[in-house]
Structures are given as structure tokens and as C-alpha cells.
């Protein structure tokens, strides 16, 4: 069964078209109007081995908040739909990713109970033109719309670019692990409740 979802979301602030293939090869076609966000979403797709297309037009003349958050919303919704009833998936995933002086960890549970624990600090307000506070907003929107429990933790790091990128790469690898099929599980739902 193909785990491919295409979604659109249009508001007075943003217009987003997104396609996600959970079982892709890491291809990315990203155009949000925010260069650094494009870079991060490309890394997410590549290291998660998801095929991801995102075309977003937003009110960037105001700031980058609406576009960043809304892309997180739509991406989360796409993951939630693509994963279906979660039969046969590993459910849990985790990764610790080094990037030069930086070390970032991500852990995810496709539990159906959304939560974001964000333990990441930046010592600059911007990376390029993007506000560093928007990374937490992106991951919160993503986690709550995907209905996942996501922890992102900075273990080391001083370079703000490296910190952000390691967080996205660690999340990508954790998502990849969690969404993979577990051959030992068969068609079962990975929960003692029988449903997630």
C-alpha cells in the first residue's frame, strides 16, 4: 500500500501545496520563500528518505512566522494521514546526530498523543533571515498535527546553523525509524491497547 499523501491548505496568510511519500528515496522539491527553511526541509527529506514536495506562498512581507508554522501544520497532517492506522510500523524512533561541534538528539513516538519537548537554545536571533525562535514553532506545529510525541534535545553546540541542522537531521532519522515496517510485528498495531 502506497503511503503517499498530497494536501493543500489555503488561508488569508499562506497557500501551501505539499506531497509526502513515506517510502521514497529522499527527493526534495522545496520552495517556501524562506531559504533556510528550504534547506532544513531538504535535509529532513534526504535523511528521512521521504520524498517531499512543498510549494508555499506566504505573507513574508510581514515576517516568516505564518509560513513556517503553516508548513509545519501541513507536514504534520501529511504524516498523520500517510501513516494510517499504524499497523506494522516500529512506532518509536530515535537518533543522535553529530555535526562538527554540535550534537542533537531526537526521539519520537507515533502515539496519537501530541507533545513537543524542545530543549534547544540559540545565542543569535536569526540564521540568515530566519528567526531562530521559529524552529520551535515549526516542530510544535508538526508534532501536534502529526499526533506524535517528539523530543528534540541539544546535547552540545555553539554554531547556530549546525544546531538547527542537526535537530532537523536527528528528527528525520527518528521519523524514518518510527515509520519503517517491523518484519517481526507483521500486521499488528504496536500497542498493548490494540489501537493508536
Report helix, strand and coil shares of the chain as percent, to nearest 5: 35, 30, 35
Q: Does residue 112 contact residue 53 with C-beta atoms inside 8 Å?
A: no
d(CA 47, CA 174): 10
Q: Does residue 169 contact residue 85 with C-beta atoms inside 8 Å?
A: no
Cell of 100: 562538527
Can you give the pLDDT of all 196 residues of the chain as single tens digits? 799 999 999 999 999 999 999 999 999 999 999 999 999 999 999 999 999 999 999 999 999 999 999 999 999 999 999 999 999 999 999 999 999 999 999 999 999 999 999 999 999 999 999 999 999 999 999 999 999 999 999 999 999 999 999 999 999 999 999 999 999 999 999 999 988 8
By CB neighbour count within 10 A (0-12 exposed, 13-18 middle, 19+ buried), where does 63 fall? middle
Q: Which residue has the cell 509560513?
A: 67
pLDDT the model gives residue 1 = 76
Nearby residues of 149 by Cβ (< 8 Å), 6 or more positions away: 108, 109, 111, 113, 114, 115, 143
Does a structural domain hold residue 122? yes
Indicate the number of domains in the chain: 1
- Can you give the CATH number for the domain in which 168 is found? 3.30.230.40
- Phi and psi, residue 26, nearest 5°: 100, 15
Does a structural domain hold residue 169? yes
Does a structural domain hold residue 36? yes
Does a structural domain hold residue 43? yes
Q: Does residue 34 contact residue 70 with C-beta atoms inside 8 Å?
A: no
Does a structural domain hold residue 111? yes
pLDDT the model gives residue 179 = 98
pLDDT the model gives residue 194 = 86
Where in the sequence is the domain holding 85, given as residue range(s)? 4-179
Does a structural domain hold residue 196? no
Q: Does residue 18 contact residue 74 with C-beta atoms inside 8 Å?
A: yes
Does a structural domain hold residue 186? no
Q: Does residue 72 contact residue 140 with C-beta atoms inside 8 Å?
A: yes
Does a structural domain hold residue 162? yes
Amino acid at each position: 500500500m502506497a503511503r503517499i499523501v498530497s494536501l493543500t491548505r489555503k488561508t488569508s496568510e499562506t497557500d501551501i501545496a505539499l506531497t509526502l511519500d513515506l517510502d521514497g528515496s529522499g527527493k526534495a522539491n522545496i520552495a517556501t520563500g524562506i531559504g533556510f527553511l528550504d534547506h532544513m526541509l531538504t535535509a529532513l527529506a534526504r535523511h528521512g528518505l521521504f520524498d517531499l514536495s512543498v510549494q508555499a506562498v506566504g505573507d513574508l512581507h510581514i515576517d516568516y512566522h505564518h509560513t513556517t508554522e503553516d508548513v509545519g501544520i501541513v507536514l504534520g497532517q501529511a504524516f498523520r494521514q500517510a501513516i494510517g492506522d499504524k499497523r506494522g510500523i516500529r512506532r518509536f524512533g530515535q537518533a543522535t546526530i553529530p555535526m562538527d561541534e554540535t550534537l542533537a538528539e531526537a526521539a519520537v513516538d507515533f502515539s496519537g498523543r501530541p507533545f513537543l519537548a524542545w530543549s534547544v537554545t540559540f545565542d543569535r536571533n536569526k540564521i540568515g533571515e530566519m528567526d531562530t525562535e521559529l524552529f520551535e514553532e515549526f516542530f510544535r506545529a508538526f508534532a501536534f498535527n502529526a499526533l506524535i510525541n517528539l523530543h528534540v534535545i541539544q546535547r552540545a553546540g555553539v554554531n547556530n546553523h549546525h544546531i538547527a541542522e542537526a535537530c532537523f537531521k536527528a528528527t528525520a532519522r527518528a521519523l524514518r525509524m518510527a515509520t519503517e515496517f517491523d518484519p517481526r510485528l507483521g500486521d499488528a498495531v504496536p500497542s498493548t491497547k490494540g489501537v493508536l
